[in-house]
Amino acid sequence: MLLIDTAALSAGTQTLDLRPEAEALDLDPTAFSAIALDVQLDYRDLDPRSRRLYLRFHVTATAHLVCDRTLAPFDEPVEGTHTLLYVPTDSPLLPDDDSEDDDVRILPDDLAPVDIADAVRETLLLALPMRRVAPEARDQDLPTSFGALTTPEGTPIDARWEALLALSSDDTEGPDTP
């Protein structure tokens, strides 16, 4: 849990500098470290029906990854930004139940703290690269063909492969085309 105490907030713009542990965000501590969270808050409390909390955060961390090419472990800095809006339960800004918009959330009427751990966790997980390639492996050439089709003497390895080799030939006509 990563709670923002709304009861302690004064109206106006404020900033918070948080350093949560990976466990507080339900993340594996062996996968993430050095998590830093810079939060900008804009809290409006004109009356109970028009309370608003606009929250924008920027999160950075070090992700401990395994290279897809070399299987060597490496560290990669990751970062992301996310925005949340908290409004009262009767606000017209709240999305319908069918909506997938989870960036507008309910601000508790009793000034209870709001938990932003799930938004921070999702932002960090979305910041992870799809291809995890260590910096020293990024410039390596990738082999695109493997093995030899013939023995060192020049004879085919197995005659059963000849039909497949015909399929990979450069001609565009298939076997049944005139």
Residue 17 neighbours by CB distance under 10 Å: 8
Report how far residue 26's alpha carbon sits from residue 135's, in angstroms, rounded to the nearest whole number: 28
- pLDDT tens digits, residue range 85-141? 888 777 666 666 655 667 788 777 777 888 899 999 999 999 999 999 998 888 887
Is residue 61 within 8 A of residue 78, CB to CB? The reply is yes
pLDDT of 150 reads: 65
| pLDDT at residue number 152 | 64
CB 117 within 8 A of CB 24: yes
How far apart are alpha carbons 140 and 69 in whole angstroms?
9
CB contact at 8 A, 117 and 32: no
**Pairing of β 12-18 and β 32-44:** antiparallel
Residue pLDDT, tens place only, 25-38? 999 999 999 999 99
Task: Please check the confidence at residue 48 and state whether its pLDDT lies above 80.
Answer: no
Residues 2, 117: contact at Cβ < 8 Å? yes
Q: Is 18 exposed, middle or buried (0-12, 13-18, 19+ CB in 10 A)?
A: middle
Q: pTM of this prediction?
A: 0.71
